[in-house]
Amino acid sequence: MRGFLRHLARRHGGSAAPLAGLRGPKARAAIPRALTPEQAMEATQGIGAVHDPDRAQAAPMQAARDVALFTLLYGCGLRIAEALALDVRDAPLPGSDAALRVRGKGDKQRIVPVLPAVRQAMADWLALHPAPAPGAPLFVGARGGRLDPAVAQRSLRNWRRLAGLPEHATPHALRHSFATHLLGGGADLRSIQALLGHASLSTTQRYTTLDAASLLATWRRAHPRAD
């Protein structure tokens, strides 16, 4: 309406002042869409299975790379850009207690603990890495350069179609799933905020809405008076 009144004022004269001060409805923030634990495991581990003929020539190197990358996203809650910016020297490996140092938005660093499953997937990938020099990119593409995010997204998109995963099974959904499953397991918001690298707690609080929606759906399915 404000835009229409401005248009009339430009074309026909007059003033759009009567509605200029009105504020429109605030758009509701989109609720992150997480995967179930079973879907997250299929996205991270199942992608290593070669069911796609187009992947046959790239196996097992591409399969090991994809398992390591997506296990890292789900196991540590990284953004895809943060994971692809890592070098070989940054890789968390079995036998080391060192946490992963991540450089996030605004060049801010955070420390993220690493699960044994992530360390093992990383070791399996580095055993097949074409050029595992310390300063080389941790995740590389077919030509040996740093892996492009679009290639990683396409890889998971192809796998989700083969595996029957939902359309929102994306690399970023693995980060959402990391936070949602931690919250469902009893982790507090401040800890999740630190792990995700959110500057504001209000950003992390979106996951409480998601968890509440899940609880409500469970209640409606199970409670005899839900109708």
Q: Give all domains of the chain, ordered by start, each with its CATH number.
A: 37-139+148-210 (1.10.443.10)
Residue 86, burial from CB neighbour count under 10 angstroms (0-12, 13-18, 19+)? buried
Per-residue pLDDT at 20 exceeds 70:
no
CA 151, 152, 157, 159 dihedral sign is: positive
What pLDDT does residue 51 have?
Answer: 47
Residues of 127-159 as b/e, b for ≥16 C-beta within 10 angstroms? eebeeeeeebbbbbeeeeeebeeeebeebbeeb
* Phi-psi domain of 47 (left: phi exceeds 0; alpha: psi -120 through 50; beta: other): alpha
Spatial contact of 139 and 69, defined as CB atoms under 8 Å apart: yes
What pLDDT does residue 50 have?
Answer: 56
Section 179-187 average pLDDT: 86
Do β-strands 109-112 and 100-103 pair in parallel, antiparallel, or remain unpaired? antiparallel
For 141-166, the pLDDT digits (tens) are 988 899 999 999 999 999 999 999 99
Percent of the chain exceeding pLDDT 70 equals 85
Percent of the chain exceeding pLDDT 90 equals 47
Residue holding tokens 């079973």? Answer: 38
Section 51-78 average pLDDT: 81
The pair of structure tokens assigned to 117 is 């499953």
The pair of structure tokens assigned to 5 is 């009144």
Instruction: Please name the residues in contact with 192: beta carbons below 8 A apart, sequence gap of 6 or more.
Output: 179, 182, 183, 204, 207
First to last CA, the chain: 40
Which are the catalytic amino acids? Answer: 79, 105, 172, 175, 198, 207
